[in-house]
Each structure stands twice: as C-alpha cells, then as structure tokens.
Amino acid sequence: MAPKIDPEVGCIIPEPGDWPIEPQEDISVSDDRLWIDGCFDFFHHGHAGVMLQSRRLGTELLVGLHSDEDIRANKGPTVMNLAERVAAVNACRFSTKCVPHAPYVTSLPWISHYGCKFVVHGDDITSDAAGEDCYRFVKKAGRMKIVPRTPGISTTDLVGRMLLCTKDHFIQSLTDRLSGKEGPGGDEERLQTGKDMIRRLREYAAAPNGKDPYVEVYSYHDPSPYQQLVFGLKPRPGQRLVYVDGGFDLFSSGHIAFLATVTEFEEANGRQRGWYEDAERSKRIQEHGEDYPPAYVVAGLHDDAVVNHYRGINYPIMNVFERGLCVVQCQYVHAVVFGAPYVPSEAYLSALPTGLPDVVYHGPTAFMPSPAEPDPYVDAKQMGIFCETTKHAFQDVNSAQIVQRILDRRAEYEERQRKKGFKSGKHPYVVGYIDHKICANLVGSSRRGCA
C-alpha cells in the first residue's frame, strides 16, 4: 500500500502505528493546543523564549523537531543530534510534548493529527532549501501566530563566538549589569537594558503555563548578602533540599541529563520514604491545594570570570545571563543562584536562602584536585551530604566537546555562517581572519571540570 502524501508539502502522512509519538489516531483540533517546530540546535534561551511565548497562548504546546537529515538538506549540519535535541526540548518547562521527525516545511495534516489549531513562530524568516517560506501553507490556511523573536541570541551567533574566539560577550558583574552600572551605551540605555534583563528573568522563571511565579532567583556576591532577583515558590513541607552547581555553558544534553539524573535519584528516595503513596499525595493536596515533587533543586551558577579562570581562552561561550536563562527555564530546577562560588564551602551552603541542603550532587566528571586547587566538594563530603551521580547517555557532552564538533567540520559551519549572514541582511562572519590555532586550544584548555 502506497504511503499517504501531503499534496502541499510532499511529506509522508504516517498511518496509525507509524507516528513518531502518541497519539496514533487523530485527535480533535483545539484552539488551546499550539504547535511550534524547528531545529532547536544546541538549546539556548532564544528557543526557550519562543516556547514561553507560545505556551502563554494556550494550555498545551507541542514542539516538532526536524530530523538531522532534513536540517542538513535545507540548512546545513547540526551541532547536536536528534536525541540530544529531543532531551533539550523535553527539559523545557514550557514544552508539553516533543514530536521528533516533524517535516521541515510545516504540514497541516501533521499538526491536525496532534490536535493543534495554530502554529507559532518568531517574526524572523525561515526558509527551506529552495528559499521558500517553511510556513507558507499554514499561513495560507490562517493557522499561524507570530511572536517577537528573542533578541541578541541565535545558534548562528554562538557558532560565530566559537569560530572567532571572541570574549566581548562576557559580563563582569551581573548585578552591575542589571542595575545599569555596566554595559554599552549611555546611562539611560544601560538602565533600560537592566530593566529588560530583569523582566526576562521573571518571565523565564514562570510556571509551565508561562504565567504564574515558579523559580526563585538569587544573586550571591561574597561578602554581601544574597539579593533576591525573582520571587517564586519556596521549598514546601517534606521536600528534600538539593544543591547542584556548575558553569552550565551552552546548556548541553550533558547538563540536562545530569539534572534529570538528580531528579531520578530524588524520585527514588521519595519512593523509599512513601512520598508517592496515595494517602501522602492526598494529604499534600488537601493541605497545600496541589501536589509537588519530593525534592527542591537549587542550581548554583558560576560567573563568567570564574568559568574563564578554570577553562581559559574565551569560555564561557554563553555569558552568565544567557546561561542563567537556560538554567531558569529547565523543568528540573526550582531555584537559581547567580554568582555561586566554585568551592561550595560549609559557610556558603549553610547561608543559602533556601536552607542548608540535604544533599549536594555532582556528576562523575574529572576535576583534578591539587595542593593549589583542592577538591571543591571537600566541605560537602565532610558534612556527609555529597553524592556523586551515575553516568548517563550524554556523559561526555560538554562545551569543549561541542566546540570540537564545530572545529572538526569548520568549513561546513563557516559556509552555514556565511549563508545565514547574507539571508539575515547582516554582514557574514569574517572567517578568513580566524586564528585556527587559538580556536583549536578551545578544546584542550580546561584545567579542571566546570560543568
């Protein structure tokens, strides 16, 4: 039997049993069920931003992901493979469901099968290999919604930072940037930039519906006290307090899998102490109006200067604000501390505004203790609250490995950068002036692990 073909897009319309994820049978179309699709290559806050805006338009958000092969044919090589991109989309708090292998040109039968009335996209142009609008058929059907594109970040921008080894994206002091004391432009421009950054932090810290408060956000700068930047949900009765920390540069599948593993550890602990028993769940709902998870995860985020000290060259590729937005939007995190020290001392852990952690987790990565640079988790170990997680599927994926992927296929990515520059009306990256020797050092520059 010949497969059904979308007469407009030309893609296959799967039969029941062949759709990439459930449901296998068509469901009724709802105005409150939205669809977005894209490459979502190494996940950044611009991707989270369009998901946030889309989720606010309805009650469910399905995210279609294009295959590696379709992206290569229409745009160029991906940095992250499909499995890694699926993990990133599923980790976003605003995403309801990820649909892999979605057609590169959006197909009405596909979105209708999953019950989505409208497709949402940023106000930038996305075209296929022939230069035609990928959303032309959705727009023709009147089923398109446009939201503003997140300014100042894209996969192309990040690849450019890697290829050109730039450092001008660093932020010296996040609190000074937020208050308008640091940054480009005059006084009024800096003040407005700071207000916009605070607003975005609050938006990304929202609950899954994209509206209600959820993640708590703090700034730490020794010896000053903690400054609360965003008010969200405090730890609730019975929850274990969990602390993790790192640079979280490029917020890769390695970071996401680590945070998911921490969540799995705590879910297992919860089962052991009866957290999921019907009586306990009913009690939480009766006393607090809703159920909640067994652990409250606090993520400490290192400043740019700290990451650069331990990683060298032009790490971090994302600055502290960009990395923070990525961590804040993650469904596995409930509070974020900007400016967390590389060494979480007993004094620091005891003074956390969320309370002394019950456990400090770190993955089995190779930081290299020395007399000059001792084990950063020595205090947590002496306190009896340190726990090393098990290895996961993306154990070796980190910012250095991602940069290596770029360098291994430099010519392809430079051509992609050139095309993107011309398409957007911007000047293409001056790739002829890249110091390839310096960029090669990006891969081997780490002196100690800084996740």
SS3 label, residue 219: strand
241 and 314 part of one domain: yes
Which residues form the domain of 94?
4-151
Distances (CA, A) of 2 to 13, 18, 256: 11, 14, 40
Residues whose CB falls within 8 Å of the CB of residue 58, separated by 6 or more in sequence, listed in order: 30, 31, 32, 33, 34, 118
- CATH number of the domain encompassing residue 278: 3.40.50.620
What's the structural domain count of the chain? 2
Contact 65, 99 (CB under 8 A): yes
How confident is the model at residue 371, as a pLDDT? 56
251 in a structural domain: yes
Contact 9, 137 (CB under 8 A): yes
Q: Among candidates 42, 149, 93, which has minimal Cα distance to 336?
A: 93
Tokens representing residue 68 in the block: 């590696």
Tokens representing residue 168 in the block: 């001008």
347 and 225 part of one domain: yes
Contact 247, 218 (CB under 8 A): no
24 and 124 part of one domain: yes
How confident is the model at residue 446, as a pLDDT? 40
204 and 134 part of one domain: no
Q: Among candidates 405, 413, 450, which has minimal Cα distance to 434?
A: 413
127 in a structural domain: yes
36 and 97 part of one domain: yes
120 and 202 part of one domain: no
| pLDDT digit string (tens) for the chain, length 451 residues | 788 999 999 999 999 999 999 999 999 999 999 999 999 987 888 889 999 999 999 999 999 999 999 999 998 888 899 999 999 999 999 999 999 999 999 999 999 999 999 999 988 778 888 889 999 999 999 999 999 877 666 777 787 888 788 889 999 999 999 999 999 999 999 999 999 999 999 999 999 999 999 999 999 987 777 999 999 999 999 999 999 999 999 999 999 999 999 999 999 999 999 999 999 999 999 999 999 999 999 999 999 999 999 888 889 999 999 999 999 999 999 999 999 999 999 999 999 999 999 999 999 865 444 556 678 999 999 999 999 999 999 999 988 898 888 888 777 766 655 665 544 444 333 333 334 443 444 444 443 345 5
Cα(69)–Cα(39) distance, rounded to whole angstroms?
A: 11
451 in a structural domain: no
How confident is the model at residue 414, as a pLDDT? 66
- Amino acid occupying residue 422: F
How confident is the model at residue 418, as a pLDDT? 63
pTM over 0.85: yes
106 and 20 part of one domain: yes
Which tens digit of pLDDT belongs to each residue from 8-64? 999 999 999 999 999 999 999 999 999 999 999 878 888 899 999 999 999 999 999
445 in a structural domain: no
Last residue of a domain, one of 357, 388, 419: 388
109 and 204 part of one domain: no
How confident is the model at residue 428, as a pLDDT? 39
223 and 333 part of one domain: yes
How confident is the model at residue 366, as a pLDDT? 53
Which tens digit of pLDDT belongs to each residue from 116-167? 999 999 887 788 888 899 999 999 999 999 998 776 667 777 878 887 888 8
421 in a structural domain: no
- Please count the CA atoms within 13 angstroms of the CA of 126 that sit on its side-chain side: 20
66 and 140 part of one domain: yes
Cβ-count burial 380-404 (b if 16+ within 10 Å, e if not): beeeebbeebeebebbebbbbebbb
Sheet containing 359-362: order of strands: 224-230, 216-221, 335-338, 295-301, 240-246, 359-362, 386-388
How confident is the model at residue 160, as a pLDDT? 81
318 in a structural domain: yes
271 and 376 part of one domain: yes
96 in a structural domain: yes
Cα(27)–Cα(60) distance, rounded to whole angstroms?
A: 14
How confident is the model at residue 410, as a pLDDT? 74
How confident is the model at residue 420, as a pLDDT? 56
Last residue of a domain, one of 151, 173, 188: 151
413 in a structural domain: no
- Looking at the DSSP bridge assignments, the partners of residue 311 are none
Last residue of a domain, one of 372, 388, 404: 388
How confident is the model at residue 229, as a pLDDT? 97
219 and 282 part of one domain: yes
